C-alpha cells in the first residue's frame, strides 16, 4: 500500500488525489512510497493524517445521481478534534503577536 492509498483510506468520504498530494508535499512525504511502520509512526505522516482529518471536518454533502456522500456534523467535529490533538502534540504552538499602543486621549 502506498502513502496515497493509506491517506485516502482514513475515511470513506471521497478525498480528491489533489488534496492528498498537496498535504503530502507540505509534510515532505512521497505519495508513491510504500507504507511501513516507520512511516506510519513518523511525525510527517501523523501530521498529514491530521491535515486530512481537518479537511474532512469541513467537507460538504455531495450528491451525484443516486450516490450520496456526507459526514454527520458530530463526526466532522470529532475529526477536527482528533486533528487538533495531533497538532497540539506534534507541532509547536504558534506565537500570536499583537501590537498595542497608546494613541492619546483624543482619537
pTM for the whole structure: 0.76
Cα separation of 71 and 50, whole Å? 17
Low-confidence spans in the chain with pLDDT less than 70: 60, 62-64, 67-71, 94-107
Please state the three-class secondary structure of the chain as a single string: CEHHHHHHCCCCCCCCHHHHHHHHHHHCCCCCCECCHHHHCCHHHHHHHHHHHHHHCCCCCEEECCEEECCCHHHHHHHHHHHHHHHHHHCCCCCCCCCCCCCCCCC
Angle of CA points 55, 85, 83, to nearest 5°: 10
Indicate the burial class of 105 (C-beta count within 10 angstroms; 0-12, 13-18, 19 or more).
exposed
The whole-number pLDDT of residue 34 equals 96
**Alpha carbon distance, N-terminus to C-terminus of the chain:** 63
The whole-number pLDDT of residue 69 equals 64
List the grid coordinates of 92: 509547536
Amino acid at each position: 500500500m502506498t502513502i496515497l492509498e493509506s491517506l485516502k483510506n482514513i475515511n470513506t468520504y471521497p478525498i480528491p488525489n489533489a488534496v492528498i498530494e498537496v498535504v503530502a508535499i507540505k509534510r515532505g512525504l512521497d505519495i508513491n512510497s510504500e507504507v511501513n511502520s516507520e512511516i506510519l509512526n513518523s511525525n510527517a505522516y501523523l501530521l498529514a493524517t491530521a491535515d486530512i482529518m481537518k479537511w474532512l471536518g469541513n467537507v460538504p454533502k455531495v450528491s451525484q445521481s443516486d450516490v450520496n456522500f456526507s459526514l454527520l456534523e458530530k463526526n466532522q467535529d470529532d475529526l477536527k478534534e482528533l486533528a487538533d490533538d495531533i497538532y497540539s502534540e506534534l507541532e509547536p504552538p504558534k506565537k500570536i503577536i499583537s501590537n498595542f499602543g497608546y494613541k492619546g486621549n483624543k482619537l
